[in-house]
Structure 1
Amino acid sequence: MKDYQLIIFDWDGTLMDSAAKIVSCMQLAAQQCDVPVPDAQAVGNIIGISLRPAIQILFNTQNETLTDALLEGYKSAYLEKDVTPCPLFDGTRELLTSLKQQNKTLAVATGKARRGLDRAWKNTQTGHFFTTSRTACEAASKPSSDMLEQILTETGVNASDAIMVGDTVFDMQMAEQIGMDRLAVSYGVHNSERLAAHHPVAIVDTVTDMHSILLPR
């Protein structure tokens, strides 16, 4: 396998097992705003997109007042009401430690807000692993390649020496647009068949399975 210099991770559904919490909070927001409650699959389909456009797609609305209400309902549920745990996937800390020991440059490209990513890093004590990151606050929403292009510019790494790791077709699409290799994970919100359509270098079933691809012997 190729020896990548820069490894860019999605966060939710790739390193952190947060899908159940996102689904629960989106459903609580819908109840609060008295709109039809989406099922888990519908919410899963928009995980990875920045929150505002994700809500507009999920609830099929361009009404800014409703969008704002759903946004606030979601944020309130996430921070104050919902208690669904969000652990790191098994093997995540060990993988990140191994990558840093091999002097890999690590980054995050996520649809989370900056405050949300910083909070996740603090709660999991993982922020020190990453050289840089881009969130929904600093770049266009996935599947735009804007996050990746900004990270490449900041780190001075060519797309050919980097790989994007993610669990959604949005992660695959953003890398595909700029000719960057991509590694798909099957344990997140999008299934292997959907991910395979974007020709990742591999599809892995666990975090541990990433070692042979990201740390070639």
Structure 2
Amino acid sequence: MNDALRLILFDVDGTLVDSQGDIVASMTSAFASEGMAPPARAAILGIVGLSLDVAMPKLAPGLEQAAYARLVDAYKASYMALRAAQGAQKNSPLYPHIRAVLDQLSTIDHYLLGVATGKSRRGLDALLAGHGMEHLFLTQQVADHHPSKPHPAMIMSALSETSIAAENAVMIGDTSFDMDMARAAGVGALGVGWGYHRAEVLAGLADDVIHDARDLPGAIERMWESKQ
């Protein structure tokens, strides 16, 4: 493999951190604030990765826009309150071996790391600060500034910011939204089997699916070697 600059983009929830407890609790609280029964846990985890304004209508079709706006605001308020009360390391712990792998990848001169997430800017900042990871990601794409996944805008902006060609980039994520976004942007797609969408779903969309974070560096190298 040559030493051309490469961009490695990570999804966050379900890929780097396991935030399902706060996600389910905050969604439950948001629906309760509207006097509505909460969606099933599986349904809530199934929309992780989508922007909230897209996720809410999928969970509760047929509401007025004002109700969706209230649900979004209530979710955000609950999520930030839980984060403030207990901190990112407890509420959104890193998956096993993730930090060591990120540190390893960040030492490779021709690798640039970034994130493309359905989180807000505020939410991502709080998470990265809580884990001491502010310095790891050169480009950070958030829901505030882009259409929801699987629209490729986040990846296209990351490519533009870093001046990396699509063939030298890869998106790593746990959902079909991440894989579809990668395909739409023309970059590599690596799925992880420890997140919120089933691995067998990702297998039909990704270049490869891994089940242990320690396998990421090798999977990334193999993917680019196959493109030579």
TM range (shorter): over 0.9
Give the TM-score normalised by the residue count of structure 1: 0.93
RMSD: 1.9
Deviations 1:4-58, CA, capped at 9 Å, x for gaps: 7110000110001112221121011111211121111100111000111111211
2:57 maps to what in 1? 56
Q: Percent identity?
A: 35
* CA shift digits 1:62-89 (9 cap, x unpaired): 5122112211221121122575721111
The answer to whether structure 1 residue 7 and structure 2 residue 8 are counterparts is yes
Aligned counterpart for 1:205 among listed residues 188, 205, 211: 211
Larger mean CA deviation between 9-18 and 59-68 belongs to: 59-68
Q: Distance in 2 between matches of 1:137 and 1:150?
A: 13
Q: Does 1:88 align with 2:94?
A: yes
Contact 2:22–2:82 (CA under 8 A) maintained in structure 1:
no
CA gap of 1:187–1:2, structure 2 versus 1, over 3 A, is farther
Which of 214, 217, 220 does residue 214 from structure 1 map onto?
Answer: 220
Q: Which residue number in structure 1 is paired with residue 190 of structure 2?
A: 183
Bigger fraction of residues in helix: 2
* 8 Å CA contact retained: 2:152, 2:182: yes
Distance 1:81 1:163 in 2: 32
Runs of 4+ in 1 over 4 A off after TM superposition: 1-4, 81-84
Q: Give 1:211 shift.
A: 2.6
Which of 150, 175, 179 is residue 172 of structure 1 equivalent to? 179
In the alignment, which of 101, 119, 135 is matched to residue 128 of structure 1? Answer: 135
Q: Which secondary structure state, in structure 1, belongs to the residue aligned with residue 126 of structure 2?
A: helix
Alignment partners' CA distance in 1, 2:140 and 2:11: 10
Q: Which residue type is aligned with residue 147 of structure 1?
A: M
CA–CA distance in structure 2, aligned partners of residues 76 and 41 of structure 1: 22
Give the deviation of 1:91 after TM superposition: 1.0
The aligned residue for residue 41 of structure 2 is: 40
Aligned equivalent of 2:121, options 101, 110, 114: 114
TM-score relative to the length of structure 2: 0.89
SS at match of 2:102: helix
Q: What displacement does 1:215 show?
A: 5.2
| Structure 2: 5+ residue stretches without partners | none
Match of residue 21 from structure 1? 22
| AA partner of residue 173 (structure 2) | G
Contact 1:163 1:180 in 2 (8 A): yes
